[in-house]
Amino acid sequence: IAVTVLTVICVIVGRWRKKKNDVKMWITIAFFALCTVGTAADLLGFYIKGNSDGLLNTVGMFLVYAVVMGAYSTVQIRRQVYIDDKTGLYNQSRCNEVLADPRPLKASVGLIMFDLNNLKVVNDTMGHEVGDYLICGFATALKKNISRKCFMGRYGGDEFIVIVRKTN
């Protein structure tokens, strides 16, 4: 128990000093702490009752940890599959899924397509870093000026789409 407590403290201090605020790390630390408390309760129960039926506390905490980490990992994988790293908008795969949805529309929908003109010229003359800066700037402008209820995605290199639902 003492080793676990010291390990958790060292990890917390190390992450705090490096200013790394990782959700996965905090979930792990919380469950290590709960498992430590569960183990202490199990040991105390063993010495008081004389049997080890209290081991279920620790095992239960590990099972809860496994379920929570599985759910968190699923969310992270989904984000990696559908979100464009540069812009934070939906990527082309997600755009294609939304556009190919076979369900009939129940309300009016507007589709807006954007193409950043002459981005190839910018990339060729000023470099891809400048082109990426322009792409990210445009994505930021979309996020600031388009309702979060609308679907926004980066359809290609310099192509973006916005789907506005319930519009005329």
CB of 36 within 8 A of CB of 8? Answer: yes
Residue 158 is a catalytic residue: yes
When comparing pLDDT for 71 and 160, which is higher?
Answer: 160
Q: Which of 53, 85, 132, 158 is catalytic?
A: 158
Rounded to whole angstroms, the Cα distance separating 143 from 159 reads 15
Query: Each residue of 133-155: pLDDT tens digit?
Result: 999 999 999 999 998 889 999 99
**pLDDT tens-digit profile of 56-103?**
666 777 777 778 777 877 877 777 789 998 999 999 999 999 999 888
Comparing 58 with 48, the larger pLDDT belongs to 48
Interval 21-33: pLDDT, tens: 667 777 777 777 7
Handedness of CA 72, 73, 78, 81 (dihedral sign): positive
CB-neighbour burial class of residue 125 (10 A; exposed 0-12, middle 13-18, buried 19+): exposed
pLDDT of 42 > 90? The answer is no
Q: How far apart are CA 148 and CA 99, in angstroms?
A: 18
Beta strand pairing call for 109-115 and 151-154:
unpaired
